[in-house]
Structure 1
Amino acid sequence: MLTVLFAAAPALWDEYRPSLLAAFDAAGLKARLVTEAAPETVDYIVYAPSSSLQDFTPYTRCKAVLSLWAGVERVVDNATLTQPLCRMVDPALTEGMVEWVTGHTLRHHLGMDRHIVNPARLWDPTCPPLARERPVAMLGMGELGTACARALRALNFPVTGWSRSPKTVAGIPCLHGDDGLAEALRGAAIVVTLLPKTAETENLLNAARLSLLPEGAVILNPGRGAIIDDDALLAALDAGRIGHATLDVFRVEPLPQDHPYWSHPRVTVTPHIAADTRPASSSHVIAANIRRAEAGEPLLNQVDRRRGY
C-alpha cells in the first residue's frame, strides 16, 4: 500500500480527495491518501507551492513530488527538494488557456470593446481586417503556447512562435534566441506571453523590446507577471505606442487596489483566471505518473532544475 501525502492548502482537500481516490482506483493503484504522515513512510507527495511543507529533507522514501500547479518557480530552487519534481500539465488547464487566449485575441482583433462600451452611441462602421492580416507572436512554445498557437492559426491568424531554444511545430514558424525575439516582436500586432518565470525570462519585455513592436500593438499576458517590466509597459501605454494590455497575472496577487493597472484606460485586468488546474482531470495526471513510477517508467513532465521548468 502506497502512502500519498496531499500537501496543499487545506481548502483544497475536500475538492481533490474524491477525484484523486477515484483516479488511483482507475489506475489500479493501491494507495492511501493522507494529509499527515510520518515523513519516512511517504511514497509520493501531491504538492502545491502554497503548502506549509517547505522542507523535503525528512521525506527520504519519497519517489517524486507531483505539483498541482503548472508553474514551479516557487519550489524549483528549494535546496531541500532532491526528489524528482513534476509540473502539472492538465488537459483541462490547457483547454481553458486556449479559450482565454482565443477569446481575448478575437476581442482585440475585432475591436469589440468600442461596441460593448459606447455611451456616446457613436456610429463607426469601420470593419476590422481579416485575421490573416493580423500577425500574432506567441512567446513560449511549450504545451500551453503550442496549443494556443495552433488554435489561433486555425482561425487564420499568422502566428509566429518564439522560445529560448529551438522548437519545431508543424504549421507554425518558430524563432528562438535574442535575434529571433526581436524579429517576432517587430512583426506582431498581438503578442501573447506564455513563458515560465526564470532568471532568463524576468523582465523579458522591457522598454527596449517593447519599442520594437509596431505602434498600437496589443499584449496579452496570461503566463507570468514578472515577464513584463511594469514601469516600461505603463510608459509605452501612456505614450500610445502600445494600444492595449490585457493582463491576467501580476508580480503581487491579488493586484493591489492602488496599482496603476486598475485605472489605466488601456489596460484590462483579469484576476488570474485564464486557466486553472481542475481536480477531475489533473487527478488522472497525478495517478498516471505514480503508476509510471511504480512500473519503472519515466515520469511525465519532470522539471529540468537547470532550466527552471
Structure 2
Amino acid sequence: MTVNVLFAAHPDRWDTYQTPLQAAFTEAGINAHLSPDMAPDMVDYIIYAPNAPLQDFAPYARAKAVLNLWAGVEAVVDNRTLKIPLARMVDPGMTQSMTEWVVGHVMRYHLGFDRHIVNPDHLWEPHTPPLAAERNVCILGMGALGTSVAGSLRGLGFSVSGWSRRAKSVEGVTLHHGPDGLKTALSEAAIVILLLPDTAATENTLNAETLAHLPKGAFIINPGRGPLIDDAALLAALDSGHIAHATLDVFRIEPLPQDHPFWAHPGVTVTPHVAAETRPITASRVIAENIRRGEAGEPFLLLVDRSRGY
C-alpha cells in the first residue's frame, strides 16, 4: 500500500529534502509517494515547515498527522485549522550542531579568548582562567537540546546546573524548577545558556528582575528563541556592567534590523541564527519513523501538547 506524503515546506527546500526523505522511507520499509504538490483529499501525512505557503489545514481531512521540520512550533501550534496531531522535530543532527556551537561559546567565555583576539592596544595582560569545575554553567531549558549540552559540558568538567518550568531529573546536573528555582539557578551561574521553547510562559524569562539575580560579570548565550530575553533589560544590564557580555543567535525580528542597538553594543556578539538547523538526512529518519508508527498503529513520537505550546 502506498502512503501519500505531502512536502509542505518552503519551495526552495524540496531539492534538499527529496532524496534524503526517499532514502529514509526505503530504509524504514515505507512505500511512499512523496510530492510537494498533491490534492488535499489524497494526503496521508504532511511534512511541514511554518514558513510554507500552506496555512489552511481544513481541506486535509484524510491526513493523519503534521510532521514539523523545525524544532520550534510556535508559528503553527495555534493554527485553528489544524485539528490532527502535530509532531515537533527533535533531530539528532541539529542537537549535535547546537551542542557544538554552545560548547564553543562557553569555552570562549571560560578561557577569555576575546581579550586576546581583539587587542588593538597590544596589551600584555596574562590571565589564567579557573578550571572548568570552578565555574558554574546554568542551562535554562532541559529538553533534548539542554540535556545534550549539559552532558558535553559535564564531560569537560564544568559544574552544570539547569532550570525548567517543571521538575526534571538529569544525571549529574543540579536541577531547579519553578519561579523560586529560577532565582536560585541564576544566582549561582557564571554563564547562562537559554534553550527554552518560545511560549507565552517563557517570554522574557530574562528580564530586569531575573537578570538582577545573576552574579556581577555573568555571561549570557542565547541560541534558543529571541523572545526569551527582554532586549531593553539586557542592554541596561550590559550598560551597568552587571552582565559582562551576551552572545545572541536569535532575535524577536530576523534578520535583526540594521538599527538595532545590539549591532553596535560592545557587550553583544550577534550571530545570524546559525547555531543549529534541521539536518536533512537525520531529520528524514525522524519523519520516516513517525510515518512508520502511524501506519503500524503505534503512538506518534514527539507530539505537541497544544496547552503547553510545545
- TM-score normalised over the length of structure 2: 0.99
* Corresponding position of 2:187: 186
Secondary structure of residue in 2 paired with 1:226: helix
Secondary structure of residue in 2 paired with 1:288: helix
Q: What is the CA-CA distance between 1:151 and the residue it aligns to?
A: 0.8
* Corresponding position of 1:296: 297
* Overall identity of the aligned pairs, in %: 64
Letter paired with 2:50:
P
Secondary structure of residue in 1 paired with 2:244: strand
Distance 1:134 1:263 in 2: 29
Q: What is the CA-CA distance between 1:280 and the residue it aligns to?
A: 1.1
Distance 1:175 1:119 in 2: 42
Q: What is the CA-CA distance between 1:2 and the residue it aligns to?
A: 1.0
Secondary structure of residue in 2 paired with 1:126: coil
Distance 1:264 1:74 in 2: 30
Distance 1:165 1:77 in 2: 22
Cα RMSD after superposing both structures: 0.6
Structure 1 residue ranges, 4+ long, deviating more than 4 angstroms after superposition: none
1:163-202 equivalences under 5 Å are 163-202=164-203
> Deviation digits for residues 212-244 of structure 1, max 9, x if unmatched?
100010000000000000000000001110000
* Corresponding position of 2:236: 235
* Corresponding position of 1:65: 66
* Corresponding position of 1:263: 264
* Corresponding position of 1:4: 5
Q: How many equivalent residue pairs?
A: 309
* Corresponding position of 1:135: 136
User: Gapped runs of 5+ residues in structure 2?
Assistant: none
Distance 2:172 2:218 in 1: 24
Distance 1:158 1:2 in 2: 48
> Deviation digits for residues 170-190 of structure 1, max 9, x if unmatched?
111111000000000001000
> Deviation digits for residues 13-33 of structure 1, max 9, x if unmatched?
001001101111111111111
Distance 2:218 2:280 in 1: 36
> Deviation digits for residues 254-281 of structure 1, max 9, x if unmatched?
1011111001000000110101101111
> Deviation digits for residues 88-137 of structure 1, max 9, x if unmatched?
11000000000011000000010001111112111111111111111111
User: Gapped runs of 5+ residues in structure 1?
Assistant: none
Secondary structure of residue in 2 paired with 1:215: coil
**Residue 37 of structure 1 pairs with residue 38 of structure 2:** yes
Secondary structure of residue in 1 paired with 2:185: helix
